[in-house]
Amino acid sequence: CTMKGKSIKPQLVASNDRFCRFLEEYCPVVTETYYPTIWCWEGRVQTLLRPFITSRPQVQYRNELIKTADGGQISLDWFDNNDSSYYPDASTRPTVLLLPGLTGTSKESYILHMIYQSETLGYRCVVFNNRGIAGEELLTPRTYCAANTEDLEAVIHHVHSLHPSAPFMAAGVSMGGMLLLNYLGKTGRDTPLMAAAIFSAGWNVFESVESLEKPLNWLLFNYYLTTCLQSSISRHRQMLEKLFDMDLVMKARTVREFDKQFTSVMFGYRSIDDYYEDSSPCRKLKSVGIPVLCLNSVDDVFSPAHAIPVETAKQNANVALVLTSCGGHIGFLEGIWPRKCTYMDRVFKQFVQAVFEHGNKIFSM
């Protein structure tokens, strides 16, 4: 995307004609020209400004703590939408599971916007907060990572068992999208989810960390993200000190150093390369067994364009990629003053509605 902030139609990559036609008819936003905010001409600018510019819709959550098999706990934030006029019966109210990014919680503005969109459609949402992030105590010395899907499996099973008759979808952002893709690659068709939406996922972790180590990207993103990771675990120091050299972990200056000293060790990987290999969703995409729509911008420094698995996507009839020329990482700002709705919000709203209202047509068109 040049300085001129030019608008280009997103590239839709999908080998399945029926899925393509379904999206063109019921989720037309993926074929419309995206007009990025002209003064956010560059991906890094979009990425940096979005949290400050976009509004924060008011959402009242109901919190639920669920126990895990290893003795830990997971914090879920429910938006029940009991005032839903479209779906007054809670047992069949369509439900969207939302997965925030690294160190993100149910309070992120992009999560609040997805809930706002879902509320207008009459749907229920539940946010999966990764362990130890949302203010709850760590009961065991274990947090989370993009490769280990056990907590996500437990949450999906729990939500589905509470509302077995409710149509069920998931949407993941950034690391939440990577985790969701890794789960779908592992489970294939054996999941209660009808479909999934993925936003700004890092497809190849080796390429992502390398991109984030370029000097300007380190300065703008990597150092801050590393300090976020450190502060998210520092309040659990007593619990984690049993297994980790926390002084060493707190000296990390990059995400790679943090993962080397902490995340890869916690989840039992022999090396950081083994962990990054296992975390990269590009390796699992061929096994995804339900319809997934994945939105990426080619100027996202967290997920470099050359690492987006376009050829693999073309080989799986369940996968559609939507690639924009601008938008950065979870940016997708549009219009002159982009407070309200981003292009990502519109893709989310249309795709979720398309699946819940017309999902039976995806494979019958």
What residues are annotated to the active site? 174, 300, 329
Query: Residue 362 in contact with residue 206, Cβ under 8 Å?
Result: no
- In the numeric block, the tokens 């280009």 are attached to 8
Dihedral through CA 298, CA 24, CA 170, CA 352, nearest 10? 130
Residue 289 DSSP one-character state: -
Q: Which amino acid is at 240?
A: L
Q: Is 102 left (phi over 0), alpha (psi -120 to 50) or beta?
A: beta
| CB proximity list for 353: less than 8 A, separation 6 or greater | 26, 121
Query: Residue 111 in contact with residue 142, Cβ under 8 Å?
Result: no
Q: Which amino acid is at 171?
A: A
Report helix angle 109-121 to 343-358, nearest 10: 40
The C-alpha atoms of residue 170 and residue 128 are separated, in whole angstroms, by 10
